[in-house]
Amino acid sequence: MTDKRDYYEVLGVARDAEQADIKRAFRKLARDHHPDVNQHDPEAESRFKELAEAYEVLSSPDSRAAYDRYGFDGLRGRPLTDFEHMPFDDLFSVFFGGGAFGDVLRQAAGGSWGAAGTASEPGDDVAVAVEITLEEAAFGVTRTVSVEAPLVCERCQGSGAAPGTERTPCTQCGGSGRIRRVSSMGGFGQFIQTGTCDACAGRGTVVAEPCDECHGSGRVRGSRDVTVEIPAGIDDGQRLRIGGEGGAPGPGGRAGDLYVLITVQPDPRFVRDGHDLIHSIDLTMVQAALGETVEVPTIDGEPIELKLSPGTQPGDTRVFRGRGVPALRGRGRGALKVVINVVVPRHLDREQRELLERFAQLTSEENYQPEDGFFDRVRAAFRS
């Protein structure tokens, strides 16, 4: 048995690693050995068994303490799961779900996928939707949102114990949150299984006298206001994660996170393209031909005067750098792009028709010379 690798080395964690780190390392490594990616790989099988064994020992405070002190010798006679002689397929179902057998073995492995050890119940993650204008998306905005999620019970400060009393170590499991049982596994012989302690729900501590406000859960229903800083440059469909602003946890656990889902209202003036804004301008064919000064709206508020020269073509684009949307948590702004659209009239009134016919006649003559005020009349007749 001396050819065994050190359990900490197997899991790739430090000797003083927290339980949470051990669990995380195990879960990550166990996934890497998933049967879907390691079919019929005998090496994967032995590595997985090694992992399972290391995790079982290190995830239990008392077997870990024994291992720390005496190494593998310290585990002799301890009721550990015999992963070595377990069928590989069934072993996988321990960790990756499936069947009653998997359920039992999942417990045997310390409930690695679910309620585990003395890990306290974390708070729920909560999402809220916030709708903002394009200007708010561009320059950032502060919003207060109402978050409907469990709150920390004020009466017991979240401990679940009645004021003046304290949580005490669970006598059923000795504070480990887990208990061991011998059970028959049919064709697989006898197994020692480790399960979540029913007396303390795996927390390792119990309350002698539960708080009458939260009935021992440490949480109460409710909602609260959270102020959210929405950063400049955010885009439609993006989300912000605000750590610890979600639901309150069970006693000793971590609060959940708040996710803020951003919707940006459509703006009739601009189409957003990344950091750029696109504004389109409709010109009459006369304005395009003769030139025109137009006002271009900006997201900053102050419009820009844009002089379009005679002979402006449909699709012509003017670019105003630095007048677009600021980069999210970055520097600089995109551009405002103005795209020209030329509208050809679908219907002409009598005067417009006469003027266009006169224009056609003039341009067909060799040295055409329009009469005084001709183009002023055209301009007036085709006013957009």
Check residue 161 for interaction with Zn ion (CB under 5 A).
Answer: no
Neighbours of 328 (CB within 10 A): 14
* Cβ nearer to Zn ion, comparing 173 with 264: 173
Structure tokens at 235: 């885009």
Smallest distance, Zn ion to C-beta of residue 168, A: 11
Check residue 173 for interaction with Zn ion (CB under 5 A).
Answer: yes
Question: CA separation (Å) from 371 to 187, 352, 355, 368, 375?
Answer: 109, 16, 12, 10, 9
Q: Which of 54, 66, 134, 197 touches Zn ion (CB under 5 A)?
A: 197
Q: Which of 68, 103, 125, 213 touches Zn ion (CB under 5 A)?
A: 213
Q: Is 78 helix (H, G, I), strand (E, B) or coil?
A: coil
CB 130 within 8 A of CB 31: no
Q: CA 209, CA 91: separation in Å to the nearest integer?
A: 41
Q: Give me the residues paired with residue 181 across strands.
A: 193
Smallest distance, Zn ion to C-beta of residue 218, A: 6
Check residue 153 for interaction with Zn ion (CB under 5 A).
Answer: yes
Check residue 21 for interaction with Zn ion (CB under 5 A).
Answer: no
The alpha helices in 18-78, defined as continuous H runs, are: 19-32, 42-58, 61-70
Angle between helices 42-58 and 88-96 (to 10 degrees): 50
Smallest distance, Zn ion to C-beta of residue 159, A: 7
Of the ranges 70-78, 152-160, 181-189, 288-296, which one interacts with Zn ion (CB under 5 A)?
152-160
* Cβ nearer to Zn ion, comparing 117 with 246: 117
| Residue count of the chain | 384
Smallest distance, Zn ion to C-beta of residue 65, A: 17
List the x/- string, 36-55, binding to Zn ion by CB under 5 A.
--------------------
Check residue 66 for interaction with Zn ion (CB under 5 A).
Answer: no
List the x/- string, 285-324, binding to Zn ion by CB under 5 A.
----------------------------------------
Residue 146 host element (H or E): strand 141-148
- In the numeric block, the tokens 């401990």 are attached to 159
Q: CA 323, CA 332: separation in Å to the nearest integer?
A: 10
* Cβ nearer to Zn ion, comparing 173 with 325: 173
Residue 340 host element (H or E): strand 336-343
Check residue 214 for interaction with Zn ion (CB under 5 A).
Answer: yes
Check residue 165 for interaction with Zn ion (CB under 5 A).
Answer: no
What's at 29, amino acid-wise? L
Check residue 335 for interaction with Zn ion (CB under 5 A).
Answer: no
- Contact residues for Zn ion, defined by CB under 5 A: 153, 155-156, 170, 172-173, 197, 199-200, 211, 213-214
